[in-house]
Amino acid sequence: MNKRTRRLAAVLTAAAADLVLWVAASPIGNVDLVVDQGGTPLTVGPVLIAFASLATGFAAWGLLALLERFTARSGLIWTVVASAVLALSLTGPLAAETTAAMLVLMGMHVVTGAVLIAGLVRR
């Protein structure tokens, strides 16, 4: 499998894993994934999850490609940046309306980050 195919598979796998987690939590587990967005409740559903996962994955891939072009230690730099972004992203789910929703959303962030970090840089 070439590098481009492997990286595309990592991005798609991250999105698919998040959707599996959503199915387990929301339709099956009856967890309402609702986040307070400045006083307005936002229900996090499959379209938003897929879009966010794919957008994050392609942005991560793009940053890695740029770093590979212009730096010698692209994998290390990208991994540090990706880990920092993952840590910062975990503050978003803190606005969830329930503890269960917060934990599920944090799980989605961790799953996306783990799949992308492991899948995009691997040689």
Tens of pLDDT, residue by residue over 43-97, are: 999 999 999 999 999 999 999 999 999 999 999 999 999 999 999 999 999 999 9
Mean pLDDT, residues 26-46: 94
d(CA 26, CA 117): 26
**Where along the chain do its domains lie?**
3-121
Q: What confidence tier does 38 reach under pLDDT thresholds 50, 70, 90?
A: confident
**pTM for the full predicted model:** 0.93
CA atoms within 13 A on the CB side of 122: 16
Q: What is the pLDDT of residue 123?
A: 63
Instruction: Tell whether the torsion through CA atoms of 28, 35, 9 and 114 is positive or negative.
Output: negative
